[in-house]
Structure 1
Amino acid sequence: MTRKEQREHVFKLVFELEFHSNGEIPEQQQEYFSSLGEVEPQETESIQKKASAVADHATAIDELLNTKTAGWKTSRMNKVDLAILRLAVYEMLYDEEVPEKVAINEAVELAKKYSGGDGPAFINGVLAKFTQERE
């Protein structure tokens, strides 16, 4: 499985967090992976580990997002865009294996596939603010 495919699975698991309580997450993840068919155990572990890390940092990430999105607090964002942004910001700030430009590009690609018409531009604009401040 490619990194792009793994990232897409992480995105889907992060998206699911919005709809399940913490106690339901392990069962939901198990059901998700069983629906995929044959997946290497190390890939499953890697995907779960990253999804859990994003979830663990979600509160801090949301606070940062709220400072970058005037008029679009995380509580008002559509859940697809929010999941994409959480994953991208996690990769930009906490995942040293993912270059910042790759995180942004992959987030925009996920938005093209899963979000609405304005999603890719919105995602790109929010993430550009993170990049500008860090430079």
Structure 2
Amino acid sequence: MKRHEAREQAFFLIFERTFQEASLEELVESAQLARDITICGFAQNVFHGVEKHGEEIDGMIEKHCIGWTKNRLSRVAVSVLRTAVYEMLYEEKIPVSVSINEAVEIAKTYGSTEDASFVNGVLGSVAKELESAQ
């Protein structure tokens, strides 16, 4: 499986989690029944990471959503941002620029034009903060 497909799977799980308080196992089972797919390990790891570090990830998102609160964002935008910020913070082998580009592409596919440009701006701001912290 290509990494882009794995990111999409992670996005789907995180997006679905915004609708229900289900466990990863329940979400994976639902995905497998509804779409006849097997959720890869990378997607499951990202989901677990977002769950584990959710407070920090959401705090980073809110910090960089100038003039917006997380509650005003679309579920697509929030889910894409959570996926990408997790990667940017915790997946050291993935270049930040790749995480941003992939997130923008997923936002273009599943969200609106506004979601894609918003995601790009927020993640660019997060990247600058992370770069200056090094």
Confirm or deny: 8 A CA contact 2:10 2:43 kept in the other structure: yes
Give the Cα–Cα distance (whole angstroms) in 2 for the partners of residues 33 and 49 of structure 1. Answer: 17
2:112 aligned counterpart, secondary structure = coil
2:5 aligned counterpart, secondary structure = helix
Give the Cα–Cα distance (whole angstroms) in 1 for the partners of residues 109 and 87 of structure 2. Answer: 19
Q: 2:122 aligns with which of 110, 120, 126?
A: 126
Q: 2:50 aligns with which of 46, 51, 54?
A: 54
2:71 aligned counterpart, secondary structure = coil
Q: 1:33 to 1:45 in 2, by over 3 A?
A: farther
Question: How large is the RMSD of aligned CA atoms in angstroms?
Answer: 1.6
2:114 matched to 1:114? no
Which residue of the partner structure matches residue 79 of structure 1? 75
Confirm or deny: 8 A CA contact 1:91 1:98 kept in the other structure: yes
Give the Cα–Cα distance (whole angstroms) in 2 for the partners of residues 34 and 97 of structure 1. Answer: 32
Which residue of the partner structure matches residue 3 of structure 1? 3
Which residue of the partner structure matches residue 12 of structure 1? 12
Which residue of the partner structure matches residue 29 of structure 1? 28
2:80 aligned counterpart, secondary structure = helix
Which residue of the partner structure matches residue 89 of structure 1? 85
Aligned length: 131
Confirm or deny: 8 A CA contact 1:33 1:44 kept in the other structure: no
Percent of residue pairs bearing the same amino acid type: 37
- Unmatched tracts of structure 2, length 5 or more: none
TM-score, reference length from structure 1: 0.88
